[in-house]
Amino acid sequence: MRSYPINLIGLENRCCIVVGGGEVAQRKVESLLEAGAERVVVISPRLTHKLTALLQAKRIEHRPRGYQPGDLEGAFVVIAATDDPTVNRNVWQEAQERRLLINVVDDPDRCNFFAPSVVRRGDLTISICTGGQDPALSARLRQELEPRFGREYAAFLEIAGALRDRVGRELSSRARLRFWYALADSEVLALLKTGKRQEAERLATDILATYVLKAGGRGRRKTPSPSGSQR
């Protein structure tokens, strides 16, 4: 099944509903919280111990009953994770009527998005999706990738983000692209991997300074002075 991959942002301002309170629902709730969701509503008569702990910590909301029609009002993302196919089907139907993002666990035909396996390092997100056909393969691939991408990648993106405004102001679009490639190919990651954060920051700044110098002040086109204002 072909898909168009996207990364949702701004979940802290949206209502996310998970129908189900078992271990599968727990994993879905944890993924939403990790992605920044601040209003996660769990609809289920029972909760796992971990979901109960999240409720006590006020990380989630709980409706202690089964799903009822109308429960999805105000939702943005919905995940149906019960062991009752009829309930899951009814959740899907309401989500379709309300035109919501809906994932029914283990039922690819009743999904308009898939929840991939994710390797997350700060702002770096590597998603692995099998179109709902083999979640175990996604998990195995994630396990293989996790050791390859360490904490240095999160630090690298923090450094890059700190330079982004200056890059946008002082370099043309073509020069910006060359700079970002040069930064990615530099020794910055290697320095971060060995714990040399300050050296990595200096190197990144030096690389940018080199590109700004090459631009010679011509990186961005200047607005012509109004007629008569020149001397």
Whole-angstrom Cα Rg for the chain: 24
Confidence of residue 229 (pLDDT cuts 50, 70, 90): very low
| 154-195 tens-digit pLDDT | 999 999 999 999 999 999 999 999 999 999 999 999 999 999
The percentage of residues in the chain with a pLDDT greater than 70, rounded to a whole number, is: 93
| Amino acid 215: pLDDT | 83
54 vs 223, higher pLDDT: 54
| 50-99 tens-digit pLDDT | 999 999 999 999 999 999 999 999 999 999 999 999 999 999 999 999 99
The one-letter code for the residue type at 177 is L
* Average of per-residue pLDDT values in the chain: 92
Confidence of residue 226 (pLDDT cuts 50, 70, 90): very low
- List beta partners, residue 210: none
Q: Give the residue-averaged pLDDT of 20-26.
A: 98
Is 141's pLDDT higher than 70?
A: yes
Confidence of residue 205 (pLDDT cuts 50, 70, 90): very high
Confidence of residue 227 (pLDDT cuts 50, 70, 90): very low
Confidence of residue 211 (pLDDT cuts 50, 70, 90): very high
Q: Give the residue-averaged pLDDT of 205-214.
A: 95
